[in-house]
Amino acid sequence: MNKKEISELKKQFTPDNCTISRICGCYVDAEKEKRLEMRESFLSLSDEEIFKYFEIFKKTLSGTIGKNLLNLEFPLTTEAEGGEQEFLLRLKNSRLTDDSLVDECYDKIIEHYYNAENYFIILVHAAYDVPGKARDNTEMFDSSDEVYEYILCCICPVKLSKAGLCYNEAENRIRDRIRDWIVELPERGFLFPAFNERSTDLHAMLYYSKKPEELQAEFVENMFGCEVSLTAGEQKESFQAVISDTLGEECNYETVKTIHDNLNMLMEEHKDDPEPVMLDKREVKQLLERSGVEDEKLSDFDTAYDNAVGEDTSLMASNLVNTRRFEIKTPLITIQVSPEYADLVETRIVNGKKCLVITVDDNVTVNGIPAKTMELDE
């Protein structure tokens, strides 16, 4: 799924566009015991509750593709009878009206999901009448291509509110606040089936994790039968290892800066594309070639890439470079600069010492105090 398709689904989480038919929920304590279960028509809830649920649903479809949101494809084995995909398909087709299937879904999550605190599992079923599109890409709401039926699951932590004082309006006094168990925004979630090319894709799903570096790969593998690729952080570390191993002692400041400049240019060229920019092994090698890495050094590239990333694994460009910040670190000093002004930082030998030199004008502040730069005697 790309960001346009995800955005289209998020637009349904409003009172006017709501397509959700049923909601089920299960409150689980820290000992993995079910404390409460609910099954209701979604539109029977109060307006206040519906708005709060909408916020949770939108959050489950929020974030960056490849970081918080992962497109997962089901292996063929999961689609056989008794497989993980086959179970999700039965759950979706039941429209959450089969209590035994809903309970089985709760049990699977409780068994495989690692969480040391209380949490609330939310399951909803929706049927979205997908409008057709004209040649100019405008939606034709009176012309539907298909009905996209899906289930959305949100796993929300439930935490005790902080102690404190509050104003009691009824008593017109300040008193101790009553602490409540608050359902917070989700930490994990999933959408099944995927909405690829604005159509139902039963062979794929979307997985959400609040923290990109805490995907809970074992939960994904046990719950869905899918393998999780490298996390965003792991992709960045692997890319850095490829550069270091390929360049060796020739891995200098100017070359690394040029590689990052070219990556930023690539991201800028494709910033309006709905699909994330992916780089396979061949494209990463071409990136290094454009950045001035000599052929002699590139002879080690294939081995370095296979060892660090994997021969058939692609990297997401947005995971490899920070488009907002260019950072230079030494053991004692960290310099951060906007990538567009990275040329203001140079490496030089000054008085026989290796130095980082920053070009500045008279607009310099030190701890908030305007200060003039020193003028060296000629």
pLDDT for 107 equals 96
Q: Specify the residue for token string 């809830």.
A: 45
Contacts of 259-264 with CB under 8 Å at 24 or more apart are: 259/287, 259/288, 259/291, 260/321, 260/326, 260/339, 260/342, 261/291, 261/339, 261/342, 262/287, 262/290, 262/291, 263/287, 263/317, 263/320, 263/321, 264/321, 264/323, 264/339
CA-to-CA dists, residue 213 to 63, 206, 229, 233, angstroms? 13, 17, 12, 7
Tokens matching residue 306: 């296979």
Q: Cis peptide leading into 193, omega within 30 of 0? A: yes
Q: Residues 6 or more apart from 24 whose CB is under 8 A from it?
A: 37, 38, 39, 40, 96, 102, 122, 123, 124
pLDDT for 137 equals 62
Give the whole-angstrom CA distance, residue 13 versus residue 128. 11
pLDDT for 138 equals 66
pLDDT for 341 equals 84
Give the global pTM.
0.83
pLDDT for 32 equals 93
pLDDT for 376 equals 56
pLDDT for 253 equals 85
**3-class state of residue 367 by DSSP:** coil
Start-to-end CA distance of the chain, whole Å, equals 62
Q: Are 95 and 22 in contact, with CB atoms under 8 Å apart?
A: yes
In this structure, the number of other CB atoms found within 10 A of the CB of residue 326 comes to 21
In this structure, the number of other CB atoms found within 10 A of the CB of residue 88 comes to 26
Give the whole-angstrom CA distance, residue 350 versus residue 363. 24
Element spanning 194, H or E: strand 194-196
Question: How does pLDDT run along the chain (378 residues), one tens digit per residue?
Answer: 999 999 999 999 999 999 999 999 999 999 999 999 999 999 999 999 999 999 999 999 999 998 899 999 999 999 999 999 999 999 999 999 999 999 999 999 999 999 889 999 999 999 999 988 766 666 666 667 789 999 999 999 999 999 899 898 999 999 998 889 999 999 999 999 999 999 999 999 999 999 988 999 999 999 999 988 888 889 999 999 999 998 887 788 888 888 988 998 898 888 888 888 899 999 999 999 998 888 888 888 989 999 999 888 889 998 988 888 888 888 888 888 888 888 888 888 888 888 888 888 777 888 888 887 766 554
Q: Specify the residue for token string 């049990």.
A: 107
